Amino acid sequence: MAKFMAVALLILATTSCKKEQQAPEENTTATDTVAKVEKRRIISLNGALTEIISALGHQDQIVAVDVTSTYPEGIKDSAKDLGHVRSISIEALMAEKPELILATSEDLSPELTEKIKLAKVDVRVFDRDYTAEGTKMLIGQVATVLQSEGAQKLQDKIDADLKGVEQLKIQPKVLFIYARGAGTLMVGGKNTPVDKVIELAGGKNAVTDFEDYKPLTPEALIQANPDVILMFDSGIQSLGGEQGVLKIQGIEKTNAGKNKKIIAMDGALLSGFGPRLGEAAATLNGKFKENAK
């Protein structure tokens, strides 16, 4: 369920210790050195990786992406959408004649990784750490693979944006609801990407008794009694707008429902943990301040 939800969140947009910054192990390279990549054909199988590659100035080398890669705008116009990573076949990958494939250990299965190795294509698989330091480390790793000198600028921007997050007098209790219509409502617990962003933005998760995601029930909603409901733009749209959110059973008995405190944000921005992480935290912090009035 946790893996499904992690991917599903990015689809609709689209746990934490400091690691030593180093390039990931070269999982599949035809040689022992990193080749020049000025004209390499790149496949990116993760939305955050696609953002990083693009921000480093290599968007024009991306020939195909996964379904979670929704930013920069227009990426699907210039790169083929291969769909859900778990459904992508080796044949579909090789049809794009890739010279470099970037993915995360959460997304790319060991079986498909091995097939890519056998096809003699350079594939780099990165571990994710949903923290500011982890995100900066990931940017550095990708820059190393691409032989790009732009990592420091992106890392500095994250730090600068995070400095714009103001301490709140009262931490709002925030409940993240993932929706795909009224029939699919999930609540985000601890140690999810959204949970980490809520913390960075100065709020606190209204749910502390479980990790990952569970189906939303009226009883759990009332017990959590959030001050604010946080959702993806796409999730709110799937419910017919804010009025549809307020019709969720149990919402009316919470502080958020009574005061109509609902925050909507782009999913890829909110949960991506890419170059825009600082921007996401600062934006959410601003929305917390607005809702406190």
Q: Strands across the sheet with 122-126, in order?
A: 80-81, 62-65, 42-44, 100-104, 122-126
- 1 pLDDT band, cuts 50/70/90, is low
pLDDT recorded at residue 38? 56
Round the average pLDDT of the chain to a whole number and report it: 90
Burial class of residue 263, CB neighbours in 10 A (0-12, 13-18, 19+): buried
| Residue 249 and residue 228 in contact, taking contact as beta carbons nearer than 8 Å | no
* pLDDT tens per residue across span 49-82: 999 999 999 999 999 999 999 999 999 999 999 9
CATH superfamily of 173-291: Nitrogenase molybdenum iron protein domain (3.40.50.1980)
* pLDDT tens per residue across span 230-255: 999 999 999 999 999 999 999 999 99
| Residue 44 and residue 56 in contact, taking contact as beta carbons nearer than 8 Å | no
Q: Which residues of 137-163 are buried (b: 16+ CB within 10 A; e: fewer)?
A: bbbbbbbbbbebebbeebbebbeebbe
pLDDT recorded at residue 22? 40
Q: Which residues of 55-78 are buried (b: 16+ CB within 10 A; e: fewer)?
A: bbebbebbbbbbbbbbbeeebeee
Domain 8-162 matching CATH 3.40.50.1980: the answer reads yes
8-162 and 173-291 share one fold = yes
pLDDT recorded at residue 37? 41
* pLDDT tens per residue across span 91-109: 999 999 999 999 999 999 9
- 227 pLDDT band, cuts 50/70/90, is very high
* pLDDT tens per residue across span 155-210: 999 999 999 999 999 999 999 999 999 899 999 999 999 999 999 999 999 999 99
pLDDT recorded at residue 9? 53
pLDDT recorded at residue 33? 36
| Residue 25 and residue 278 in contact, taking contact as beta carbons nearer than 8 Å | no
Whole-angstrom distance, CA of residue 87 vs CA of residue 231? 27
* pLDDT tens per residue across span 125-158: 999 999 999 999 999 999 999 999 999 999 999 9
Q: Dig out the tokens for 228 from the structure.
A: 């604010």
Token pair 């209204």 in the structure block, residue: 206
Task: Give the three-state DSSP class for 251.
Answer: helix
pLDDT recorded at residue 293? 80
Structural domain spans, the chain: 8-162, 173-291
Q: Dig out the tokens for 138 from the structure.
A: 């990931």
Position 14 pLDDT exceeds 80: no
pLDDT recorded at residue 8? 53
Position 11 pLDDT exceeds 60: no
pLDDT recorded at residue 27? 46
